[in-house]
Amino acid sequence: MNSHSPGATRVLQPIFALALSAACSCVWSASSQAVPAQYQGKWVPQKANCDSAARVVVAADKLTLSNGNDSQAIGGIEMAGPGFFPPGYNGIQAVLITEFDGHQPATATFNANEKKGVALVEFAPVQPGKGNPQLNAYNAHITKLNLAKRFPLNKVPLKKCA
């Protein structure tokens, strides 16, 4: 059977699909569920005092956003694996993803923009347009959380407090 025959195609397609599936699972995979100790603790805006009402508290298994008496804990934590970054990336950034198996309403980047000791939290936005059931569920969840309006921390450089 030559490589251009229909039989060869039928044999190679499942092998190719399996190889592609294995490759893809390695490209975007979480490295671990627990947040490393060096990133755990209280983070506040760089220009604020450590007693700031607006803060992020990172624990091994959750990220908690606070602004005065309002707080929101988000679990389902995963640290992004090497496939999150471009091939050959050798920088110092580390990314925490919340609700990894869900809608991922917030991500935190430690050593953001390759600056040691700086963190950035980004809140997921509502996606525009007419959606399918999955997009509608995502938008409903993000709208209900309303993180950007409740917490003035979106894309604000943060420092870690002792």
Read off the pLDDT of each residue in 38-66 and give the average, rounded to a whole number: 98
Q: What's the confidence (pLDDT) of residue 130? A: 83
Residue with more model confidence, 29 or 121 = 121
Question: Residue 85's CB: how many other CB atoms inside 10 A?
Answer: 14
Task: Count other Cβ atoms within 10 Å, centred on residue 70.
Answer: 11
Instruction: Report the pLDDT value the prediction gives residue 32, as an integer from 0 to 100.
Output: 60
Rounded distance between C-alpha atoms, residue 23 and residue 21, angstroms: 5
At 101-116, the pLDDT tens digits run: 999 999 999 999 999 9
In angstroms, rounded to a whole number, what is the distance separating the alpha carbons of residues 113 and 83?
18
Above 80 in pLDDT, residue 155?
yes
Using only C-alpha atoms, the chain has a radius of gyration, in whole angstroms, of: 20
Please answer whether residues 54 and 44 qualify as being in contact, where contact means their C-beta atoms are separated by less than 8 angstroms: yes
Q: What is the phi/psi pair of residue 66, to 5°?
A: -140, 145
Specify the pairing of strand 158-160 against strand 41-45. Answer: antiparallel
Task: From 56, 52, 95, select the one nearest 77 (Cα to Cα).
Answer: 95
Kindly tell me the number of DSSP H helices and DSSP E strands found in the chain: 3, 10
Q: Which of 61, 17, 67 is CA-nearest to residue 39?
A: 61
Under a CB-based contact definition with an 8 Å cutoff, are residues 71 and 64 in contact?
Answer: yes
What pLDDT was estimated at residue 151?
Answer: 98
- pTM to 2 decimals? 0.79
Percent of all residues in the chain with a pLDDT value above 90, rounded to a whole number: 75
Q: Which of 9-13, 70-74, 108-112 has the lowest mean pLDDT?
A: 9-13
The mean pLDDT value for 142-150 works out to 98
Q: Is 152 exposed, middle or buried (CB count within 10 Å of its CB: 0-12, 13-18, 19+)?
A: exposed
pLDDT at 131: 82
| Domains in the chain: boundaries | 1-29, 33-160
Per-residue pLDDT at 123 exceeds 60: yes
